Amino acid sequence: MSFPSQYIFVQLVLPLPSIMGLAIANDKSPSSPSLSSSSEISNLTYGFAVIFLIWYFVVLSLAYLGVVEIFRKFNHSITDIATPPSSSSSSDLGSVEGVTIIRPLKGIDAQVESCLESSFVQYYPTSKLEVLFCVEDPKDPVIPIVETLIDKYPNIDARLMIGDPNNPDHYGPNPKINNLAKGFVAAKHDIIWVMDSNVWASNGTLLRSVHALHHSLDNGRQTYDRRTGQGKPVKVVHHLPLAVSLKSSQLLMGPSWWSNIGSKLDEVFLKTSHAKFYVGFDRWAVAPCVNGKSNLYRRSDIDMAVQHIGRGQMPSVDGESGDLSKDAAYYGSTKGYGIRYFSKFIGEDNMIAIALWDIGGRTGLTGDCVIQPLGNRNSSIKDYILRRSRWLRVRKYMVLAATILEPTTESIVAGIYGTFAVSVLFFQQKFSISWLFFHFIVWYLTDYLQFALLLKYSAAEDSRIMNSSNYIRPFFTEPDYNRFFDLELLLHSPRWSRFNKSGFTRQCFRVLVWSFYWFMREILAFPIWVYAMVGTTIDWRGRPFIIKSDLTAEEM
Q: 276, 267, 124: which is closest to 201 by C-alpha?
A: 124
Q: Is 72 helix (H, G, I), strand (E, B) or coil?
A: helix
Which residues are part of the catalytic machinery?
349
How is 451-470 classified by DSSP, letter by letter?
Answer: HHHHHHHTT---HHHHTT--
Count Cβ atoms below 10 Å from residue 311 Cβ, excluding itself: 11
User: 194 has which bridge partners?
Assistant: 102, 295
Q: 283, 207, 211: which is closest to 240 by C-alpha?
A: 283
> Which residues of 387-443 form beta strands (DSSP E)?
none
Q: 365, 398, 70: which is closest to 236 by C-alpha?
A: 365
470 contact partners, CB below 8 Å, separation of at least 6: none
Distance CA 6, CA 468 (A): 31
Instruction: Give, as one character, the DSSP assignment of residue 164.
Output: -
Distance CA 395, CA 392 (A): 5
**How would you label 226-235 residue by residue, b for 16+ Cβ within 10 Å and e otherwise?**
eeeeeebbbb
Instruction: Give, as one character, the DSSP assignment of residue 472.
Output: -
Instruction: Give, as one character, the DSSP assignment of residue 137.
Output: -
Count Cβ atoms below 10 Å from residue 18 Cβ, excluding itself: 8
Largest Cα–Cα distance of the chain, in whole Å?
A: 80
537 contact partners, CB below 8 Å, separation of at least 6: 393, 544, 545, 546, 556
Q: What separation in angstroms does the CA of 297 have from each of 8, 206, 372, 427? A: 38, 12, 21, 51
**The pairing of beta strand 234-238 with beta strand 362-364:** parallel
Count Cβ atoms below 10 Å from residue 122 Cβ, excluding itself: 25
Distance CA 271, CA 279 (A): 11
- Please say whether the beta carbons of 375 and 110 come within 8 A: yes
Instruction: Give, as one character, the DSSP assignment of residue 344.
Output: G
Distance CA 425, CA 403 (A): 28
Distance CA 503, CA 1 (A): 11
Distance CA 278, CA 255 (A): 32
- Please say whether the beta carbons of 123 and 96 come within 8 A: no
